[in-house]
Amino acid sequence: MSTYRFQGRTAVITGGGGDIAGHIATRLHERGMNLVLADKNGRAARELQARLDNLRVHVFEGDLTQRDEMECLLREVEENFGVLDVLINNMAITKVDRFHERAPESIEEEIAINMVAPLVLSRLAVPYLLKGDDPRIITTTSLGGIQPLRETPIYAATKFGLRGAMLSFALDEDLHGIKVSCVLPTATDTYMLRQEALEGGSVLNFIDEPQSPSVVADQFVKHLEKPCLERYPKASDSWLTRLAMLLPNLMPRILPFFEKKGRRGMAKYVASLRRQGLLVEVDGKLYQRQRLYLDKPEMEQELEKS
C-alpha cells in the first residue's frame, strides 16, 4: 500500500496537452491531486481540462522557453493552489532533419525546449517546492538519452544532457531536499511518434510495436509511491539498449540489422494509423487528424462541415 499522500497535493505537468501528459493527469486527478497543465498549445490542454474537473485543473498557456513565462507559471500555481508539490517535466519536440542539413535556429529551438527549459524551470521551482513537505521533480527523458539516434541527433543530445543533469541533481538530495527522478520511455504511441513516422524519423522506434502512453504514466505514479532515480516502462528495451551501449564501436555493424526491421515496423505502424482513421491525406501528404488545426486549420473546418 502506498504511503504517499496524493489527496490535496498540486502537480505541474509541462507539455500538459500531450498524450503522455493526459494519462499522467488522469491518474493523479483520480487520486485527488490538483493539476496545472502548462502547454504552448492551450487548446489541447483545455480539452484535457474539460475531460477532468475544472475546479482542480488549471491551464497555463505559455512559452516555457521564456523565463518570464516560467515565473508567471509558478506564481499562478501559488495563487491558485498555495503550494507546488510535484513538478513533472514532460515537454519535448523532435525534428527529423539530419544534423548536417538543419538550420542552426532549428537546433537552438529543440535544445531550448527539450533541455534548457526543463532545467531552468526546475531551478526556478526549487523555492516553491521547498514550501511543501515532500517535494518531487519527475522528468521524462528517453531511451534516446542512452542510445544515439541517427535520424534525430538533437533530440538524442537533449535527452542525454537532460538525463545527466537530473541524475546529478538527484544525487545532491541531501543538500536540497527534493526527490528527483526520471522516466525513460521507449517508443510510445503519441502524437509526436506518429509525426515521426510520417516524416521519416528514427526507424529504431518501430522495431517493436510502440507502447501505450498509459504504460508510461504508470511509472510516474510509481515514482511518487516509491521514488528511485530512474524507471523504464519497457524493461526489455531498456536492457537491450544499455547492453548495446557497452560496446558503442560495434554500432555501425549492428544498426543495419535493427534498422531493416524498424523500417518494416514503421510501414506497418503508418498503415495501422490509416486503418484507424487517424490520418488525413491532403494533396498527397498525410496529416494527423488529432492536431490538424496546427498544420491545416482550413482543412479541419472542412472536415467538421462534412
Say which residues have a Cβ less than 8 Å from residue 70's Cβ, sequence separation at least 6: 64, 117, 120, 121, 124
Question: Three-state DSSP class for 28?
Answer: helix
Please give the single-letter amino acid code of residue 301: Q
Question: Three-state DSSP class for 138?
Answer: strand
Q: Which pLDDT belongs to residue 301?
A: 66
CA 142 to each of CA 58, 103, 147, 216: distance values in angstroms, whole numbers, following the listed order: 27, 24, 9, 11
Q: For residues 196 and 288, give the distance between their C-alpha atoms in angstroms, rounded to a whole number.
A: 11
Q: Which pLDDT belongs to residue 255?
A: 87
Q: For residues 104 and 228, give the distance between their C-alpha atoms in angstroms, rounded to a whole number.
A: 37
* Residue 101: exposure state from Cβ atoms within 10 A (0-12, 13-18, ≥19): exposed
Q: For residue 21, is it left (φ>0), alpha (ψ between -120 and 50) or beta?
A: alpha
Q: For residues 114 and 166, give the distance between their C-alpha atoms in angstroms, rounded to a whole number.
A: 13
Global pTM reads 0.94
Q: For residues 153 and 62, give the distance between their C-alpha atoms in angstroms, rounded to a whole number.
A: 27
CA 141 to each of CA 72, 102, 171: distance values in angstroms, whole numbers, following the listed order: 25, 23, 17
Q: For residues 306 and 119, give the distance between their C-alpha atoms in angstroms, rounded to a whole number.
A: 45
Please give the single-letter amino acid code of residue 236: S
Q: For residues 284 and 255, give the distance between their C-alpha atoms in angstroms, rounded to a whole number.
A: 31
B/e letters for 11-20, b = 16+ CB within 10 Å, e = fewer, are bbbbbbbbbb
Helix and strand numbers (H, E) in the chain are 13, 9
CB–CB of 219/231 below 8 Å? yes
Q: For residues 145 and 235, give the distance between their C-alpha atoms in angstroms, rounded to a whole number.
A: 15
Q: Which pLDDT belongs to residue 300?
A: 65
Q: Which pLDDT belongs to residue 306?
A: 53
Question: Three-state DSSP class for 179?
Answer: strand
pLDDT in tens, the chain (306 residues): 568 999 999 999 999 999 999 999 999 999 999 999 999 999 999 999 999 977 799 999 999 999 999 999 999 999 999 999 999 999 999 999 889 999 999 999 999 999 999 999 999 999 999 999 999 999 999 989 998 888 999 999 999 999 999 999 999 999 999 999 999 999 999 999 999 999 999 999 999 999 999 999 999 999 999 999 999 998 777 777 888 788 889 888 988 988 999 999 999 999 999 999 999 998 889 999 988 887 777 776 666 655
Q: For residues 160 and 152, give the distance between their C-alpha atoms in angstroms, rounded to a whole number.
A: 12
Q: For residues 25 and 17, give the distance between their C-alpha atoms in angstroms, rounded to a whole number.
A: 10
Q: Which pLDDT belongs to residue 305?
A: 58
CA angle, corner 158, sides to 45 and 180, nearest 5?
70
**Nine-digit cell string for 274:** 490509416
- DSSP state, residue 209: P
Name all domains of the chain by residue range, CATH numbers in brackets: 10-247 (3.40.50.720)
Q: Beta-carbon neighbour count of residue 231 at 10 Å?
A: 21
Q: Beta-carbon neighbour count of residue 105 at 10 Å?
A: 8
